Chains A and B, each alone.
Chain A
């Protein structure tokens, strides 16, 4: 466990005063450079698991560790997310009033002080995801696939150690889905960034190097696929 970037120790997550249990006593560690796909049917707890691993949610029992230690407060988790964890949402969640370039700059506030550096890095990242010609376009002027690529570039803004992606292809057609998955795979392979991907799509999950299957809030299977 000590080498893990993020880990759950006997983690449970309940809602509505414990009447609904999304995760039950889950222990899981993600090592550096791993590409983990979390699969399972709807309601199995895969999004909850992903949110907990990326520090977006707190468990009702157990511990969530980042690089072996448990951030004590929400503010500490915020710092961890800012510098070490990127996240890609299914619905992109770009800021509609900002351009693609500015959207990618957003996570850098508070991390990169120099405005010129922020701008240059955002520009580089958008070029990397193939949107060098769309820097000044607002989200409404981009296709779904392009928006998700902006979101991926945004998740890379502070060179994170791990990227969480919750159904990143859920709102995309098959061609755009393939492009986004190629991009995520490329980032994982070339940067060594750990990638945790929650999906109900087995074809998408097949690209991962490790498959974690959930059922009724528990880990049903956890196996390497490569």
Chain B
């Protein structure tokens, strides 16, 4: 008999209680997986969408919280491009709009001559030398969902626009994006001459020292703008930071509930088994061995619960990612990092939830057991 099989059998003595406790842990862990995977997925989606466009730095008005409501004069673009160390600059107007089908999509407007057009990998159709004012390019995911291809018409903000091409991105945001010539989108959104963000390509993007020099130069020349490297966009975005903080906060509450479920179950179990612990002590079990037995009981509960929680959580994430309101915004993050974090959470739940009951069990003396005779 393995030592571990003793605590496992102890839990099987009250199967309903053990299963319910593991279920409590499972729900807590699933909540952690969903919330953390959701917020990380959003961060990654935003970062990927910029990296894919070969953008190394972005500029938004200082103090911007919600990027879609930012407003910059389009004319700033040319002045930015003239700064030493900046290879190219492009204005970009972005907004979330509702399609006639009720599906929300991200629509961006790019100036007809922007370098951004050249970053698109087309899967159908072709880009004319200059996009016609009524032409749009669709991400492959959106085109598939709407069953539209080159030559079809997309109704956007009440205007019929001709689908000129479909592009194949790797990021989820770009995959479900509509790209429109900037003047057209400015007209449709009634924001003439205004853009939400400025995208920069640098002359030496691989040299961190040079990137810092250029950023300092830009910050000095444009004090009203905030310049952020693409890979830090997610970290510096207040909305994403808020979502991340909320995800962690709610996860912690859920995990605390899981911890108390384990603690409560083990405390009840220890209280019911006073005689048994006394007998084990009478038989010569050391305090360390008694403690190990109770902690293993906690770990068995938390491991079983966490395993179910991972399955529940990943299923929940996939379901959320397919929900109409979130499709195209969230790409669930369920990578190794999340699994390692769940493993740590499991360990903490199991050990922290069982230490107090274990300490109570260790204090039980043989004579306590004999009182029952």
Please judge, given known A-B contacts A82-B284, A111-B284, whether A95 and B276 are in contact too, CB under 8 Å: yes
Please state if A56 and B1 are interface contacts (CB–CB under 8 Å): no
CB atoms of A107 and B367 under 8 A apart: no
Indicate if the CB atoms of B283 and A102 lie closer than 8 Å: no
Q: How far is the CA of A102 from the CA of B6 in the complex (A)?
A: 9
Interfacial chain A residues near B365, Cβ < 8 Å: 56-57, 74
Interchain CA distance A156-B369 in the complex, whole Å: 20
- Encoded as 1 (CB less than 8 Å from any A CB) or 0, chain B from 110 to 139 comes to 000000000000000000000000000000
Q: Are the CB atoms of A102 and B1 closer together than 8 Å?
A: yes
Query: Quick one: which of B278-306 are within 8 Å of A by CB?
Result: 279-287, 289
Distance between Cα atoms of A115 and B369 in the complex (Å)? 28
Residues of A with C-beta under 8 A to B280: 106
When distances are taken between beta carbons in the complex, the residues of chain B under 8 Å from A119 are 1
Q: Could you tell me if B286 and A78 are in contact, using CB atoms closer than 8 angstroms?
A: yes
Range, interface on chain A: 35 or more
**A87 CB-CB contact with B under 8 Å:** yes
The verdict on B272 contacting chain A, using a C-beta distance below 8 Å, is no
- Please, which residues of chain A bring their CB within 8 A of the CB of B276? 93, 95
* Interface of chain B: mostly helix, strand, loop or mixed: helix
B373, A118: Cβ atoms under 8 Å? no
Is A81 within 8 A of B283, CB to CB?
yes
Name the distance in Å between B362's Cβ and chain A's nearest Cβ. 10
Report A62-82 residues with CB < 8 Å from chain B CB. 74-75, 78-82
New A-B contacts (11) at CB < 8 Å, excluding given A81-B281, A110-B284, A118-B1: A56-B367, A79-B286, A81-B284, A82-B285, A91-B373, A95-B6, A97-B10, A98-B9, A109-B3, A110-B289, A166-B370
Show the binding face of A for B, using Cβ within 8 Å. Answer: 47, 51, 56-57, 74-75, 78-83, 85, 87, 89-91, 93, 95-98, 101-102, 105-107, 109-111, 115, 118-119, 154, 158, 166-167
A-B contact pairs, 26 of them (CB 8 A): A47-B370, A51-B367, A56-B282, A56-B370, A57-B367, A75-B286, A78-B286, A79-B284, A82-B283, A82-B284, A82-B285, A83-B284, A87-B282, A89-B373, A91-B373, A97-B10, A98-B1, A98-B9, A105-B1, A106-B280, A107-B284, A111-B284, A118-B1, A154-B283, A158-B284, A166-B370
